[in-house]
A and B are shown apart, each in its own frame.
Chain A
C-alpha cells in the first residue's frame, strides 16, 4: 500500500501503523462512515484532487487506498 497514505492515515486517526493491514475494515479501526468522508475530504485538500462520489464507499483500508492512489499527482510527495 502507498506508504505516504498509510502514514497520513496513521497520523490522522492516531492508529499505529502495525495495525493498518490491507484487509482491516475501516469499521474495525474505529471509523464510521462520517469519519471516512472527513478523511477523504482531508486527502482532497492535501493533494488538490477530487475523489468522485462513491456508490459503494471503501470498506477496507486496501479499498480506500485503491480509490485514492490513482488520483494522486505523479511524483508529488504525499506528506
Chain B
C-alpha cells in the first residue's frame, strides 16, 4: 500500500496567518476571539467571533477579486504557503515525475461563499435591486474554492469539495489521503476554508443557542472547552491547506517530509441532527487507529474536537474513553478552539496542522482558559500551559459535526 507524506502546510486564522505564527499562538494560548460589531437591520450587535485580520489587496489583483469570495481568498493564501513549503510554487520547476494530471485538490467547506450569498440577498431584499451581480453564482458556489486553487497551481487531477459541516476538512484531507494511497493521484492539495461571519449566517447560528456568551474575564477568553464555566462555541473563519504526496515520489524529488499521514476514518452517528453520540465518535477513532495499523497506546497526543458546548465536551470525553480504554487516562488531549474559535469547515485542517506541528516540535498546545475543569471532562486536557513532549511519535486529530459526521486523522513522525 502506498504511503502518504505531508510536505507542505499553510494556515490563515484568527490567531495569525502562516504556520509558524499560528503554532506559536497555539502554544502560548493566544486568543484571536473578540467582540465585533455587526450591523443587523434591527440594530448593531456585538458578536463574539474569531475573525481574520485580512486585507486581500496585497494578495490579489482587483480583477481577480471580482470573481473570488473571501472563502477562496483564504484558501489561496493558505495554499500558496503550503505549496511554497513543499517547493512546488512554480509548476514549471516541478520534476517530470510529478504530472499536473496526477495532482488533485480536495477542499472542505461548511458554507462556501456564504458572504456573497448574504450580499446578494441583501441587495435583493433590502435594497430591492432588480438584478444581481453576474458573478453571484460563481462567487457563492461551494466548489469555487477548489476551482480557484486548481487554477492557481495548475492542478488537473481529481477534485472534490466536502461539505460535512465541522468535519468537512478532516474528511477532505482523509479522502485526499485515499486518492493517493489507492493510486488515483500522486499528490493532493487538501484542506478547508470558511468565511461565514456575515449577518445571515450569524443570525442562523444565534438561533441554534450554541454560541458562547462574553466571559467576565474578557471577550477573548469566552471559548472555554472542557471548562465548567464554558458557555458555547465561537464562530470563526480561516483556511488551512496541506500538500500530500505519495511517499516514494516525494522522496525521489528530494522533498522535505514533515510527517506521514498514516490513518483516516469516517463514520456517521445516524442518531440525531445535532446531538453527538459517543459510539460513532469512538468508532471513528478506533477505525483510524486500525487504518494506521497502530494501537491506542501509540498515540502521544490527541487534538480534540472540543468546541466548548456542554454536550459536545462531555460526549467526546466519553468517546475517547471508549476508544482508548485503559490508555485514555494517560493520553494528553487538548482543544485549540479557545484560541482560534470554531472555524467550521476549516477547523479539521487547521487543528490537524497544529497537531502535525506539535509532532514536529515535541510540544503540545494547551487547552486555553481551562481554569476550572468540568468534573465530567476528567481526562488530561493539558490546561492553560503548553507541555514538552520529547519523543512524540504519533498524533490523532478529531473532527465531529452536526449531522453526525465524524472524521479522524492520524499522523506519524517522518
Interface residues of A (CB under 8 A from B): 12-15, 29-32, 34-35, 37-39, 41
Q: Determine if B361 is an interface residue (Cβ-Cβ < 8 Å).
A: no
Task: Name the one of B62, B134, B135 contacting A14, with C-beta atoms under 8 angstroms.
Answer: B62
B133 in complex: contacting residue of A29, A30, A38, CB < 8 Å: A38
Which residue of B57, B61, B138 has the most chain A CB atoms within 10 A of its CB atom?
B61
In the assembly, what is the distance between CA of A30 and CA of B64, in Å?
8
3 tightest A-B CB contacts, nearest first: A14-B62, A35-B63, A30-B63
In the complex the two chains form, what is the Cα distance from A20 to B67 in whole Å?
A: 21
Bound CA span A70–B33, Å = 52
Size category of the binding interface on chain B: 10 to 19
Tell me which residues across on chain A come within 8 A of B138, comparing CB atoms.
Answer: 34
Instruction: Take A13-B61, A14-B57, A34-B138 as given contacts and tell me if A41 and B67 are in contact as well, using a CB distance cutoff of 8 Å.
Output: no
B-side interface mostly = loop
**Interface pair B135/A38, CB less than 8 Å apart:** yes
- Whether A29 lies near B63 (C-beta < 8 A) is yes
8 Å CB interface, B19-67 against A: 57, 61-64, 66-67
B57 partner residues in chain A, CB cutoff 8 A:
14
Q: Are A34 and B62 in contact (CB under 8 A)?
A: no
Chain B 138-154 interface residues, beta-carbon cutoff 8 Å to A: 138
Q: List 8 A-B contacts (CB under 8 A).
A: A13-B61, A14-B57, A14-B61, A14-B62, A31-B63, A34-B66, A34-B138, A35-B63
B54-83 interface code vs A (CB 8 A; 1 in, 0 out): 000100011110110000000000000000
- Contact assessment for A37 and B134 in the assembled complex, using a CB-CB cutoff below 8 Å: yes
How far is the CB of B130 from the nearest CB of chain A, in Å? Answer: 10
Cα distance, A35 to B67, chains bound together (Å): 7
Which residues of chain B are within 8 angstroms of A41 by Cβ–Cβ distance? 133-134
A38 to B66, Cβ gap below 8 A? yes
Complex CA gap A18/B134 in Å reads: 29
CA–CA, A30 and B133, complex, Å: 20
- The reply to whether B61 and A38 contact each other, CB–CB distance below 8 Å, is no
* Cα–Cα distance between A39 and B135 once the two chains are bound (Å): 10
